[in-house]
Structure 1
Amino acid sequence: MGASLRRRSVALATGAALLTGTIWALPQAAIADDANPTGSITGTVTGDQIAVGDGLATAWLDAGSHYEVYYGSISANGTYSITGLPAGTYHVGFNELGYDDGETVTSWIEWYNDSLTLEDGTPLEVGDGPVTGIGADLDTIGKVASNPVISGTATVGSKLTVSRGAWPAGAELQYEWYAGEELLQEGTSASLVLGANAVGKRVSVDVYAYLYPTGTPSNDTIQFKRTLETAPVKAAALQASTPSVSGTATVGATLTVKAGTWAKGASLSYQWYASGKKINGATKSTYKISSSLVGKNITVTVTGKKAGHVTTSKGSKATAKVALSATPTISGSAKVGQKLTAKPGRWTSGTRLTYQWYANGKAISKATKSTFTVPSNLKGKKITVKVTGTKSGYATVSTTSRATGAVAAKSTAKPAGSQVAKPSSKTSCPKSHPIKGNQTTRHTKDWIYHVPGGQYYNATHPEQCFATAAAAQKAGYRASKR
């Protein structure tokens, strides 16, 4: 309908002197002449919007070809008085909101006595004196609620519905929905789903029909009723889930948050904590654990935001305490009959370590010690070892070594007995066998012998000692490059 009803409506100042004389050109009966009018109409009006104090009482004088309208304001306590009335026949109307631009827009007028139209109202004869006790209950007409009422919960996403209220038969209604003074929706729909733009505002509805103030049909003149306001619209609860953390709580591991199900369109943010203390900069959906957090429990809080909804934060359960772990290495030669040793590296103090050896990824039965002697049936297979650390209150962590090369057959070379000897100490060989044979673990077949005066001779820990370089070469060792 173009400009909204409220923008077209005018809240007029009240008072008979200002408003007396509004003329509605409708054919009616003749009126008696009175040069010094002294008549009046008084009474008390009740209604749920009367306390605002904007209401108007109107006395419509039947002037034959038209009506002359006299006004009196309705006070906040409901009393009114229309004075200076010439003698004649009147219809009294009560305008609860007090809107009347005298031409096209009027807030609803209920007619005395309990009628929807002037024609159906009870006429009053006014003479030289007062007519008193002319009152009305504007909340009902014939025991039916007069004004429309909003039902529903004033929360974003909820549906509000407005009742029609009491109108003349055949009235076709239009609805304008407001949040404060902001027009939300207009048209023929008596319902509205609240959006985010209504948060914190009170909702009301102007229900209107094309009627003259008399209650009869019109093409361009409007009467409207206004509902009471709702409570301020509340933001809706945001659908949220308690997040969980996947990953193992060990130094260097990456933890990932599983946010769960949140409202469609919600924007999620993250904050990680160590034993309840915010971790600076840890605001992504993943977090790589630093060494400074050993012994601390990790949690993550997910915060969801969406327009018109309550900002909501959900925290995960705490992980076990962060453990310090290491990737094990294997020392020894991957040869049939040779002993391999698992070197676990550095773990959290007090951690209990267990071992499991594998051949080509398959667990080797009963191979659960820190050392393992390679049997002949594993020839050609690659060996790994898994170390598992457990400690009360901490995450249980398992790490696996890199694989050795393929297990080689047992060496059949047998140096002459006089050419080979056992080391005399961890770092020394007998004077009779000064050449040190070292079986490095970097490559399973990279056995090296060192001669006195070589760069690494003094630092080398020998597995075997030889009298000559030839004997060392025969045993499968190569000469050191330095």
Structure 2
Amino acid sequence: MKSLLPARRPGRLVALVTAVTLLAAPLAVVPASLAAPSASAATATSVTVKKIGTKTAPYSKKATIKPNVTAKGKVSVKSKTLTVAQRGKYVAKNKKSVALKAGTYTVTTKVTYKTYRLTSAKKKVWSATKSKKLTQKLVVKQGKRPSRTAPVSKYNCPSWAPVKGNQSGIYHVPGGRYYKVTTPEVCFTTAAAARKAGYRASKNG
């Protein structure tokens, strides 16, 4: 009498035994040198020139900008300079820092540097001088106008802050009787600003 069960094929049995053997085998150990980056790779040498962010200049004054450069690893930065132009004319060339009033500028940051490697005797072998540049548009914004400022001369305040405050704690407004002859110690934009600062109005104008 013939069996009703399908005949087992030798090839399928071999494949099944092989699969079970592979699953039971221990995982291969990955060498430590391949499992994680080396310490030297983690401290790779690099020099990066970054953009200078938008600046705000104090009212009627200037904002100072400096190169934005980062360096790490086996490197020595020799110089970091700025060249600034506005409307096709140079404002500064190869300066370590530049003071700029409100406006839009073209700024080029340049860095020169050398890299080195260590010999077996721990001596540094230097490369030739290298350089990197980055050119950008930089906006310097105008700061908010203050409510008070210093006089521009012995008897005069700036036109935008015409109210004179003297050493007696009295303020004088334009057109007042003693306005022209008053020597101001501080100038205010408005009479209200002078009162807020503790000054009182002149009784004689």
Greater C-alpha Rg? 1
Structure 1 length-normalised TM: 0.17
More helix by share: 2
Q: Relative contact order: is structure 1 or structure 2 higher (C-alpha 8 Å, sep ≥ 6)?
A: 2
